[in-house]
């Protein structure tokens, strides 16, 4: 199958969160399964061209945009550890600046930047004579690929048998745009925009809604989130649109790259290990504690370590953390290591917490992939008390590293972490449901009681390590969805 994946983030080139992981690992897996996969993303100013061997092609594509035409250079690279061709769209007006989305509210011209990317993707495919069987767009940024395919490119014989699949990674970001600008950039008559139309929500152009309404198939990143966004406020106002497409909405659980995330071979960690050599986690724990700056006495006293690697936003459960943690830290029952960056108040809270509980807390501000591996390997528990979580990847990394997840059982967290039962000795973690500091506290106590309590401590960690969340299963499921989408255009 010819698959054209268009996304605003693709790991390892440009990453803010899990979207990049998925847009980078799925193509590799599809390619191994025998498909011809091409990726299109912007050449952002801070992508290191030399590091990734990205070179300029002798190809300038013209992109119809509004009533005029703009031009984009096309650069090329090969996705590391794969044979997948990656095409970078370069436009000095849109992408030369550093950053992917811009800070806080985003760049003012994000409508224009991402609509340009979406239109350029079609033009790049045509210029390369690559006829996609499916165009796979992700989140609001490239959602308009779906109406572009069904309203504009439908008249182009080149795309006559191309199906459109749209994947929702996060309903919290929908791309609310000025309708006049958006319709113009998409080359659509302004009269097609009216109250209740497939582009409109609350009087704005809603890119996410347009993707949902025009796609042949809509997927989201876990089965539970697929239910939540249709039937609960997690749909963030688009429940009706999603319900109208119910027959075509499918939850496909994310997966992880099990070669990159493998405690038996991981080059970033101090001591590699398997389920049979779990005791080596202790070496990783000690070196992690030293690395983040705990004193020798603290390193040697063997308190349980709770790790977190995350964007610091409300989504990740910061408000209940803020109320639940101090009590546990006052009791001195755990050590906390957090790596992340994000909202100022969250960073300040963690900085203050580190200051106040200096023997128990370390907050490393920033983005650091090698350290994220060492936190997964060196922690005893991994904490993810999310307010909402479409899927979540870091709890899957934790499972693979035998690090017991403590999660709120919603969205993908509910689909990937099972409560440990000391009677049956089945289960992989600890879950709680109510979004409250008390519930989180109780979950922490429940989890901490398991620490080194044998045989449970060994069982729960081995159960976790034996879970198979490989991207290969996810990739196969997407191929099935792609074939259903294709049936709709035949």
For ligand GLC, the binding residues in 212-271 under the rule CB under 6 A are 221, 254
469 binds, among ligand GLC, ligand ADP, none (CB under 5 to 8 A by kind): none
The rounded distance, in Å, linking the Cα atoms of 400 and 380 is 12
Out of 17, 102, 187, 235, the residue judged to bind ligand GLC by CB under 6 A: 17
Q: Indicate whether 7 belongs to the interface with ligand GLC (CB under 6 A).
A: no
Out of 19, 145, 238, 481, the residue judged to bind ligand GLC by CB under 6 A: 19
Q: Indicate whether 170 belongs to the interface with ligand GLC (CB under 6 A).
A: yes
CB of 176 to ligand GLC, least distance (A): 18
4 binds, among ligand ADP, ligand GLC, none (CB under 5 to 8 A by kind): none
Angle, vertex CA 399, rays to CA 396 and CA 400, nearest 5: 90
CB of 396 to ligand GLC, least distance (A): 9
394 binds, among ligand GLC, ligand ADP, none (CB under 5 to 8 A by kind): ligand ADP
Binding positions for ligand ADP, rule: CB under 6 A:
17-18, 21, 309-311, 339-341, 367-369, 372, 391-394
CB of 414 to ligand GLC, least distance (A): 12
- With a CB cutoff of 8 Å and minimum separation 6, the contacts of 433 are 408, 409, 410, 439
| Beta bridge mates, 311 | 341
Cβ proximity to ligand ADP: between 282 and 368 the closer is 368
> Of 15-23, 295-303, 330-338, 476-484, which part binds ligand GLC (CB under 6 A)?
15-23
Cβ proximity to ligand ADP: between 251 and 340 the closer is 340
CB of 311 to ligand ADP, least distance (A): 5
40 binds, among ligand ADP, ligand GLC, none (CB under 5 to 8 A by kind): none
Q: What is the CA radius of gyration of the chain?
A: 23
> Among residues 167, 201, 199, 159, which one has the least CA distance to residue 183?
199
Other Cβ atoms within 10 Å of 378 Cβ, number: 28
CB of 270 to ligand ADP, least distance (A): 18
| Beta bridge mates, 6 | 40, 137
Site of tokens 């967290």: 413
27 binds, among ligand ADP, ligand GLC, none (CB under 5 to 8 A by kind): none
Q: Indicate whether 42 belongs to the interface with ligand GLC (CB under 6 A).
A: no
Cβ proximity to ligand ADP: between 85 and 139 the closer is 139
CB of 30 to ligand GLC, least distance (A): 16
Cβ proximity to ligand GLC: between 68 and 103 the closer is 103
CB of 170 to ligand GLC, least distance (A): 4
Q: Indicate whether 22 belongs to the interface with ligand GLC (CB under 6 A).
A: yes
99 binds, among ligand ADP, ligand GLC, none (CB under 5 to 8 A by kind): none
Q: How far is CA 423 from the centre of its chain?
A: 35
Per-residue x/- track, 370-409, ligand GLC (CB under 6 A) = -------------------xxxxx----------------
Q: Indicate whether 31 belongs to the interface with ligand GLC (CB under 6 A).
A: no
CB of 276 to ligand ADP, least distance (A): 26
Cβ proximity to ligand ADP: between 72 and 465 the closer is 465
221 binds, among ligand ADP, ligand GLC, none (CB under 5 to 8 A by kind): ligand GLC
Cβ proximity to ligand GLC: between 200 and 314 the closer is 314
Cβ proximity to ligand GLC: between 7 and 269 the closer is 7
311 binds, among ligand ADP, ligand GLC, none (CB under 5 to 8 A by kind): ligand ADP
Which residues would be at the binding site for ligand GLC (CB under 6 A)? 17-19, 22, 169-170, 221, 254, 389-393, 412
């Amino acid at each position: 199958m010819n698959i054209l994946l268009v996304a605003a983030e693709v790991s390892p080139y440009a990453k803010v969160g899990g979207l990049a992981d998925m847009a980078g690992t799925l193509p590799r897996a599809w390619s191994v399964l025998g498909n011809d996969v091409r990726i299109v993303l912007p050449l952002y100013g801070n992508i290191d061209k030399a590091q990734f061997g990205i070179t300029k092609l002798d190809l300038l594509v013209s992109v119809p945009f509004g009533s005029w035409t703009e031009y984009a250079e096309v650069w090329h690279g090969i996705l590391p550890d794969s044979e997948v061709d990656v095409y970078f769209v370069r436009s000095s007006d849109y992408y030369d600046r550093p950053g992917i989305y811009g800070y806080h509210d985003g760049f003012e011209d994000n409508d224009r930047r991402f609509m340009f990317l979406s239109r350029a993707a079609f033009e790049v495919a045509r210029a390369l004579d690559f006829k996609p069987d499916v165009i796979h767009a992700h989140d609001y940024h490239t959602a308009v690929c779906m109406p572009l395919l069904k309203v504009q490119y439908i008249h182009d014989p080149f795309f006559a048998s191309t199906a459109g699949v749209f994947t929702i990674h996060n309903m919290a970001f929908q791309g609310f745009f000025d309708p006049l600008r958006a319709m113009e950039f998409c080359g659509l008559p302004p009269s097609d925009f009216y109250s209740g139309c497939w582009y409109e929500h609350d009087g704005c152009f809603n890119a996410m809604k347009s993707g949902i309404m025009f796609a042949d198939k809509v997927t989201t990143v876990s089965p539970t989130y697929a239910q939540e966004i249709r039937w609960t406020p997690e749909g963030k106002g688009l429940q009706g649109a999603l319900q109208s497409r119910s027959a075509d909405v499918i939850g496909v659980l994310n997966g992880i790259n099990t070669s990159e995330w493998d405690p038996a071979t991981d080059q970033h960690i101090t001591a590699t290990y398997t389920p049979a050599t779990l005791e080596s986690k202790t070496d990783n724990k000690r070196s992690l504690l030293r690395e983040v700056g705990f004193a020798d006495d603290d390193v040697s006293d063997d308190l349980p370590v709770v790790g977190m690697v995350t964007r610091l936003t409300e989504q990740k459960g910061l408000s209940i953390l803020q109320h639940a943690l101090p009590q546990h830290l006052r009791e001195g029952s755990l050590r906390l290591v957090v790596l992340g960056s994000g909202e100022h108040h969250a960073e300040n809270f963690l900085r203050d917490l580190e200051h106040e509980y200096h023997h128990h807390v370390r907050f490393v501000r920033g983005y650091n992939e090698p350290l994220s591996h060492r936190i997964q390997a060196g922690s005893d528990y991994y904490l993810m008390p999310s307010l909402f979580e479409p899927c979540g990847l870091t709890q899957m990394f934790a499972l693979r590293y035998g690090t017991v997840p403590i999660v709120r059982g919603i969205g993908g967290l509910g689909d990937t972490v099972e409560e440990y039962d000391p009677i049956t000795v089945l289960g992989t973690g600890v879950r709680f449901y109510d979004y409250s500091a008390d519930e989180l506290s109780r979950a922490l106590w429940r989890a901490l009681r398991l620490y080194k309590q044998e045989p449970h401590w060994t069982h729960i960690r081995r159960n976790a390590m034996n879970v198979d969340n490989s991207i290969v299963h996810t990739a196969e499921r997407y191929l099935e969805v792609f074939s259903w989408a294709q049936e709709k255009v035949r």
